[in-house]
Amino acid sequence: MSLAVTGAVHAGQTIGLRAEAGVIVELGPDVQPRPEDERLDGAGALLVSPLINGHTHAAMTLFRGYGDDLPLMRWLEEKIWPIERRLDPEDVYWGTRLACLEMVRSGTVRFWDMYWHPEAAARAVRDAGLRATVAAPLIDVDSNPEAMREAALRSLDELAEIDERVHAGLAPHAIYTVSEPSLRWIAETAAEKGVPVQIHLSETEPEVTDCVSARGERPAHYLDRVGLLTPHTVLAHGVWLDREELQLIAARGAVIVTNPVANLKLAVGRVFPYLEARAAGIQVGLGTDGPGSNNSLDLFADMKVFALMQKHEARDSAAINAEETWEIATGRRAPLLGAAPGLEVGQPADFLLLRAGAPELSFGELPAALVYAASGAVVQSTVVAGQVLMRDGEIEGAEEVLARALERARRLGLAAPIVPASTPPSAGASR
């Protein structure tokens, strides 16, 4: 399978691109399509690297707008947890398919997922043509640690066989929901199996104060002591980390994924100390968190909020610039997240074409246009491994995905969908 893109704009030049077997084989002004190539007309479109969502719970698309604006614990206890107990793999499959559709549409090609029934999520990723690292949240504080471990191992085996673009991980939910012996077991198992670890860390202040009073040490130090602070660990949030913890994380080479929109929406009370993390040399990525607590999967919106919050906190409009923000959102500052190193011959053919005729992209400098002016609606075409997942705003099968996801939401007895049940999904589903 080969693909040829013609007439796109990259670094101020009009260029073409050819991909074979998922890899870029030609890139430049003189690329000529071959007869066997699938064609993608890039006329006037901007060719850019795609986005990486470093932390989400994708299938929670089904829970979106359900019990919003409640205090966090009431939202979880009264709304989310009772329904999650009734989730089955088909719910997760279609919820994740819908998330994939929204990610493709807004330019995200790879994501890190932590959710129930990860094998169903993995099938959804495969069928949508995206890339992901998926893992079930591991929790043993109110259940049987042995059962948790067995399930984790079974899940790793199942996930290994689904698709080469879907990677398995281990995801201890948090230090307050997994026992110390199980955290150590996860560290050993991850090392042995060669899989990455993702964990929520220091999202809220009580997590820190509870850890300090229980163990006399802060969360990052505890995580290090149980062997989980490694170059293969993704720490989601890190809002309440202090300077010493940031130094430790930098020294260990772990990645922090910040989720600015979810942190604000859940009112965790502090902003991820990115400038300190940068000064310490930590690798940082960007995530939306689950669509239940964001409620969007459009990383264009979230990269803007990320940059805005850092400027605001620093009280300095120059504290972070658009170029740096774009690098973070495209995963360039945290190789573990799995972005291709760049648009180059020999690299995976993962890229976006953006509507250069969009007013948001037509003025000034490109990074500023991308970060401050654009939304995901500027994405015209999305390509992963040389496969065109969205072509000029159209995603094959989009209507079915939405219809099936709505069916699953109705099955779960979620609040009546906005659209009367008799109304067919309109043609807007793909955009």
Q: For residues 182-211, which are near a second copy according to CB under 8 A? A: none
Token pair belonging to 196: 């990455």
The contact pattern for a second copy, residues 321-350, with x = CB under 8 A and - = no contact, is: xx----------------------------
Rounded distance, CA 172 to CA 114, Å? 9
Report, in angstroms and rounded to the nearest whole number, the Rg of the chain calculated over CA atoms: 21
254, 231 contact by CB (below 8 A): yes
Note whether 76 binds a second copy by CB under 8 A.
Answer: no
Interacting residues of 307 by C-beta distance below 8 A, sequence separation 6+: 320, 321, 322, 325, 371, 372
Note whether 247 binds a second copy by CB under 8 A.
Answer: no
Of 115 and 222, which CB lies nearer to a second copy in the complex structure? 115
Rounded distance, CA 12 to CA 390, Å? 24
Of 190 and 299, which CB lies nearer to a second copy in the complex structure? 299
Residue list 359-418, contact with a second copy (CB under 8 A): 359-366, 368-369, 372-378, 380, 393, 399, 402, 405-406, 409, 414-418
Distance of CA 310 to the CA centre of its chain: 20
From 1, 21, 43, 345, residue interacting with a second copy (rule: CB under 8 A): 43
Of 77 and 180, which CB lies nearer to a second copy in the complex structure? 77
The count of C-alpha atoms lying within 13 angstroms of the C-alpha of 21, restricted to the half-sphere facing its C-beta, is 3
What are the phi and psi torsion angles at 290 (to 5°)?
Answer: -65, 150
Note whether 29 binds a second copy by CB under 8 A.
Answer: no
Residue list 306-325, contact with a second copy (CB under 8 A): 308-309, 311-312, 314-322
The dihedral over CA atoms of 274, 223, 152, 335, expressed in degrees to the nearest 10, equals: 40
The contact pattern for a second copy, residues 79-118, with x = CB under 8 A and - = no contact, is: -------------------x--xx----------------
Q: Are strands 233-237 and 197-201 parallel, antiparallel or unpaired?
A: parallel
Of 216 and 418, which CB lies nearer to a second copy in the complex structure? 418
User: For a second copy, which stretch binds (CB under 8 A), given 135-143, 233-241, 299-307, 330-338?
Assistant: 299-307
Which DSSP category does 339 fall into? -
Give helix 145-160 / helix 180-193 axis angle, nearest 10°: 20
Note whether 78 binds a second copy by CB under 8 A.
Answer: no
Q: How far is the CB of 429 from a second copy (least distance, A)?
A: 4
Closest CA to 16 of 37, 36, 1: 37
Note whether 150 binds a second copy by CB under 8 A.
Answer: no
User: For a second copy, which stretch binds (CB under 8 A), given 185-193, 236-244, 278-286, 303-311?
Assistant: 303-311
